Amino acid sequence: MILVVDVGNTNITFGVYEDKNLLTTFRMMTKQLRTSDEYGISLRELLRMNQIEREKIEGIIIASVVPNVMHALEGALVRYIGKKPLIVGPGVKTGIKITSDNPREIGPDRIVDAVAGYELYGGPILVLDFGTATTYDLITEDGCFGVGITAPGIRISAKALWEDTAKLPEIEIKKPRSILAKETISSMQAGLVYGQIGQTEYIINQVKKESGYDNLKVVATGGLGRIIADETDAIQIYNRDLTLEGLRIIYEKNAKR
């Protein structure tokens, strides 16, 4: 079994794989800072509750966009799981070529998503991740990744609405019954969700137009990605666990080395 860890700006998502089968997932909040002992004790308890024997974990891989949690998290994994994790970054084999002007600026989460999209579905492919930011990454037919678009995520946009305006309340992010909203909450929901759908469709169409890839496959992931994917034909595939799949694939590529 291997433990895969996706450290995002909002949550740390853990997954346990046996071969290619995802046995379980669980999460911790990223912004709640912990010591290595707190991470370790919480992780061992979560593994136990999910019927995972930590002694059977043969390896660990991490992709992180939050550097300040890594020291404590790595220490916890070494001390409480007994394995030194593989960190996605320079020198790690991924199977795709980074052709951007500055490859070191590409976040490891985006590289992991790109690997999963390309390995599972082939190229050319556009990989969308509806996370804290909404990202659109293009991987070519021969596995080159050099084009990416970054936009504010739905939660960021929603937070700006209720934090920067005096009278707008904090709301649940979901699609309202109609875009023809007649009160404040549904009007905010309509703007957030339909606005994201419109942005998504426009960016996908523009990428197809400028890249010349009329046969472009489009796959989405991320917590709120399901809401958007269900409302547009521009997205062909929604894979909730795409990032975890990418981590598994990268681990396997490097284990063979």
| Chain centre distance of CA 130 | 7
Edge to edge, what strands does the sheet with 125-130 contain?
97-98, 144-152, 133-139, 125-130, 217-221, 237-238
Pairing of strands 59-64, 125-130: unpaired
What are the residues whose beta carbons fall under 8 Å from the beta carbon of 20, sequence distance 6 or more?
248
Question: Residue 103's beta-bridge partner residues?
Answer: none
d(CA 242, CA 103): 21
Tokens describing residue 53: 């024997």
Instruction: Tell me: cis bond preceding 124? Omega within 30 of 0 counts.
Output: yes
φ/ψ (deg, to 5) at 137: -125, 130
Annotated catalytic sites, by residue? 109
